[in-house]
Amino acid sequence: MADLSTRYLGLNLRNPLVIASSGLTDSVHKIIELEKHGAGAIVLKSLFEEQILMEADYRVRKAEEHGGLFVEYSETFDYADVHVKEQEIGNYLGLIEKSRNEVHIPVIASINCMSSMEWTSFATRMEKAGANALELNIFVMPFNMKNSCESNEKTYYQVLQKVKKAVRIPVAVKISPYFSNLGRVIMGLEENKANGVVLFNRFSSPDIDINNIKMTIADVISSPVEMANSLRWVALMAKRVNIDLAATTGIHDGEAVVKQLLAGATVVQMASAIYKNGPTYIEKVLAFVSDWMDEKGFETLHQFRGKLSQAKNINPEVYERLQFMKYFSDYK
C-alpha cells in the first residue's frame, strides 16, 4: 500500500493534503472534522491586518458620532486601536490553543498582512499559543502606480525578516503571481530564510452585471482551470530552490493533487473542493492518489515528486514559448 506521508516546513504530515486558510478552519469543531476525514495539516483562517484596521476605524467613527471624541487627538483613538487588536488576537490565540489540544495534525497559523507593522509581536504570541508553523499571507497588490516593483518586493522581505527574527517555528510565505520577476522573488524569499512558499493567493475578483450595469464580485469558489498557473510555477521552481513549495487554488480532485506532486509540490492546499463536497471528500481525494501510486508502482511520494519539473531545462522561458508555438501551430 502506498505511503502518503511527507514533511512540510519541517513537520511530519500523514499525507500532502493541507486544508487552506479559509472559513473551513475557523473553529475547533470544523478542524476536528477535517482531521477525522484525513487532512494532513490545516492552515487556520487568517488573522487579517486590514480587517483589524477597518474595525478600529469603524469604532472610532462610531465614538465620534456619539460624542465619544471631544478633541481631535483624543485617547479614544488609541483605546479603540489597542482594544480591537487585543480582542482579535485574543480570539485567534484561543483558536490556536484549543485546536492544538483537540487534534494531532499540524496546526499552521496564518497572518494576512499588508505591511511590516506589528506582526512580529503577533507572530511571537502565536508561537507561544502552540502554532506548529506560521503562514504569512502577504498582501501587497501592485495597484499603486507610485510604488516601484522593488518597493513592493521589499515589503515582503521586510515582513519575513522581522518575523523570522522573532520566532523559532517554521515560516511559509503565501504570495500572488503579480511580480515582474516571480522566480527571482521566490529565490529572494529563500534567501531571507523562508521555510516555504505557497503558490498562489486567490483574491476577490471583480465582475460586471450587464443587466443592472454595476460592478459585482466574481465567484469566490475556485475552478479547476485556475490550477494552471501554480502548476507552471511549481514545475519551474521545484529543485531550483531548497524550500518547500505548496500549491493552491484550483486543486479540486485527486488527479490535480498528483499533477502538482509530479510538478514538484511538497504539499497541496485545498479549500473550494471541500466547501463544495464536504470534509468526507478528503478521503476520496487521498484514495485516488494512493490508488494511482499503486498502479504506477510508486511506494512513496519521494519516488515521483518533481519527476516532471523543468529543473534540468537550461532556459525554461524559451521552452514554454516553443511549446506555445508547437501546440497552436498544430491546432485546427
pLDDT in tens, 254-265: 999 999 999 999
39 is a domain residue = yes
CATH number at residue 285: 3.20.20.70
154 is a domain residue = yes
261 is a domain residue = yes
Q: Tally the domains of the chain.
A: 1
% pLDDT > 70, the chain: 79
321 is a domain residue = yes
For residues 264 and 245, the answer to whether their CB atoms sit within 8 Å is yes
pLDDT in tens, 274-314: 999 999 999 999 999 999 999 999 999 999 999 999 885 65
- CA dihedral for 33, 119, 131, 190, sign (positive or negative): positive
Cell of 46: 487568517
- Domain residues for the domain of 233 are 6-329
Mean pLDDT of the chain, nearest integer: 85
pLDDT in tens, 222-277: 889 999 999 999 999 998 999 999 999 999 999 999 999 999 999 999 999 999 99
28 is a domain residue = yes
Among 112-116, 181-185, 190-194, the range scoring the smallest mean pLDDT is 112-116
HSE-CB at 195 with a 13 A cutoff on CA atoms is 19
Cβ-based burial of 240 (10 A; exposed 0-12, middle 13-18, buried ≥19): middle
Q: Is the pLDDT of residue 75 over 50?
A: no
In 154-187, which positions are buried (b, 16+ CB within 10 angstroms) versus exposed (e)? ebbbebbebbbebbebbbbbbbbeebeebeebbb
- 109, 112, 118, 123 alpha-carbon torsion, rounded to 10°: 10
Maximum separation of any 2 CA atoms in the chain, in Å: 74
pLDDT at 74: 40
1 is a domain residue = no
> Averaged over 152-174, what is the pLDDT?
93
Q: Is the pLDDT of residue 315 over 90?
A: no
Q: Is the pLDDT of residue 54 over 80?
A: no
- pLDDT category, 196, cuts 50, 70, 90? very high
Q: Is the pLDDT of residue 6 over 90?
A: yes
pLDDT at 80: 41
Q: Is the pLDDT of residue 137 over 80?
A: yes
106 is a domain residue = yes
32 is a domain residue = yes
Task: Specify the higher pLDDT residue, 57 or 306.
Answer: 306
pLDDT in tens, 60-71: 444 445 454 444
